[in-house]
Amino acid sequence: MRTPSLTVGIEEEYQIIDPVTRDLTPGFDALVTSEDAQLADVKAELHQCQVEIGTKVCSSISELRTELVKLRGLVIKAAAQHGLTIASAGTHPFSNWMNQEMTPKERYLGVKAELQDLAHRLLIFGTHVHVGIEDPEFRIDCLNASRYILPHILCLSTSSPFWFGRNTGLHSYRSIVFKNFPRTGVPRILNGWGDYADLVDTLQKTRSIPDGSKVWWDVRPHHHYPTLEFRVCDVNTRVDEAVCIAAILQAVVAKMWKLRRDNLTFRVYASDLIEENKWRAVRWGLGGKLIDFGKKEELPASVLIRELVEWFLDDVLDELGTRKEVEYAYRILEEGSSAQRQLATYARTGDLRAVVDQLIRETAEGVCEPTLGPPLEGHASPIGAMPPSSLVPPSPAARGQTVP
């Protein structure tokens, strides 16, 4: 097998915000008519209040950081030219999907025609990380084994606790919304590249899908590029979080290759077990527990994430030069995921617009100055009829969980 290149790339989906109301607003057409020619490659999404960026293929995590900072900055500054601002989170805290305009392009109209209200309701925002694996057989081997760490990665990236102005009680409500789409979730164990190719061929010949791009698994072989694409994450709020996630996933692939090269392997677990851990990640995020399948016991998510970094990935981090970026995961464990920070801000302020302001600031952190709206004092709350207590997460004791 050919040694994987381990190139990396990120796609991120951002929210376009009216800085006065703090609500989502149509703005994609305005962004692509900005003065900066480098924004020509930003992509539309299903809704006009969404914009997607994608980095070039990067040979290292440091190059990826440079690209991501540049693209975030360009989008934020272009939005500011049109009186708009940008936030990065898996869901908007209070926006109503029924009020949002869909993008009138053939591709998205086709999705709407096929999936109806499921498409219109897809007002969610994710991060997709690509890692270069040129050999198709190892791409599938790595997919099978790396399924295990998907819940760990989701815990670190959770950023969608609110939906429709309500505390959902979950840390990744985006995952629940997307689960309604067909061909999503943790893929089954595949028996080599031929098994995957036959699956896609069958679905194409039966007019179920036009190509592999409509297989929306949490990790999948990309239909066009020689990459393994990890799609489980909520979009990361801070750029440092996005770089950390990409560095961890690159290191996971590097470690899987190292095991394969030495005629070793990582145990492959059944999809229903991994889905159980994914549910725990969706529900409690970093504040809950995941299952150690080898020991058949539950442990704090933070313990298993530290084990992932310190035991499983340690011997490839210096080779990759990404120890600092991967170990940023410890800061996330200490300060909380974006979901935890959002919940804490609402518990403190009682105003979801304060949560939006926090997201705007954190999205621009380390990138450029944020575009903030007028002070919140004197404005009616967008969910003023809802008592703040209904949006405060239950205590760990009440939910039978122990905060690590």
Tell whether the model's pLDDT for residue 56 goes beyond 80: yes
> Which domains does the chain possess?
8-375 (3.30.590.20)
What residues form DSSP beta bridges with 289?
A: 300
Instruction: Give the pLDDT confidence score for residue 396 in this predicted structure.
Output: 38
Percent over 70 (pLDDT), the chain: 84
**Mean pLDDT across 297-320:** 96
Helix (H) or strand (E) holding 114: helix 106-115
**Mean pLDDT across 126-131:** 97
Tell whether the model's pLDDT for residue 304 goes beyond 70: yes
**Mean pLDDT across 277-289:** 97
Instruction: Give the pLDDT confidence score for residue 54 in this predicted structure.
Output: 93
Place of tokens 């040979």: 59
What residues form DSSP beta bridges with 233?
A: 127
Instruction: Give the pLDDT confidence score for residue 141 in this predicted structure.
Output: 96
Sign of the CA dihedral with 294 first, then 298, 299, and 305 last: positive
Instruction: Give the pLDDT confidence score for residue 234 in this predicted structure.
Output: 97
Task: Band the pLDDT of 114: cuts 50, 70, 90.
Answer: low
Task: Band the pLDDT of 382: cuts 50, 70, 90.
Answer: low
List, for residues 198-236, the tens digit of each pLDDT value: 999 999 999 999 889 899 999 999 998 999 999 999 999
Task: Band the pLDDT of 109: cuts 50, 70, 90.
Answer: low
Instruction: Give the pLDDT confidence score for residue 185 in this predicted structure.
Output: 93
Q: Nearest Cα to 355, choosing from 364, 344, 363?
A: 344
Q: Nearest Cα to 257, choosing from 27, 19, 6, 44?
A: 6
Instruction: Give the pLDDT confidence score for residue 32 in this predicted structure.
Output: 73
Instruction: Give the pLDDT confidence score for residue 97 in this predicted structure.
Output: 65
Residues in the chain, overall count: 404
- Pick the residue with more confidence: 137 or 382? 137
Instruction: Give the pLDDT confidence score for residue 384 in this predicted structure.
Output: 43
Task: Band the pLDDT of 373: cuts 50, 70, 90.
Answer: confident
Tell whether the model's pLDDT for residue 388 goes beyond 60: no
Give the Cα separation of 254 and 122 in Å (integer): 33
**Mean pLDDT across 242-257:** 98
Task: Band the pLDDT of 171: cuts 50, 70, 90.
Answer: very high
Instruction: Give the pLDDT confidence score for residue 30 in this predicted structure.
Output: 76
Tell me which DSSP letter residue 206 carries. Answer: T
Task: Band the pLDDT of 123: cuts 50, 70, 90.
Answer: confident
Place of tokens 């670190």: 156
DSSP string of 167-198?
E-S-SBHHHHHHHTSSSEESPPPP-SHHHHHH
80-89, 115-124, 289-298, 306-315: least confident range: 115-124
The 3-state DSSP class for residue 250 equals helix
List, for residues 74-101, the tens digit of each pLDDT value: 999 999 989 999 999 999 999 876 666 6
Instruction: Give the pLDDT confidence score for residue 180 in this predicted structure.
Output: 83
Tell whether the model's pLDDT for residue 328 goes beyond 80: yes
Q: Nearest Cα to 379, choosing from 357, 364, 360?
A: 357
List, for residues 250-261, the tens digit of each pLDDT value: 999 999 999 999
Q: Residue 292: phi, psi to the nearest 5? A: -85, 105
Please provide the average confidence, as pLDDT, over all residues in the chain.
Answer: 88
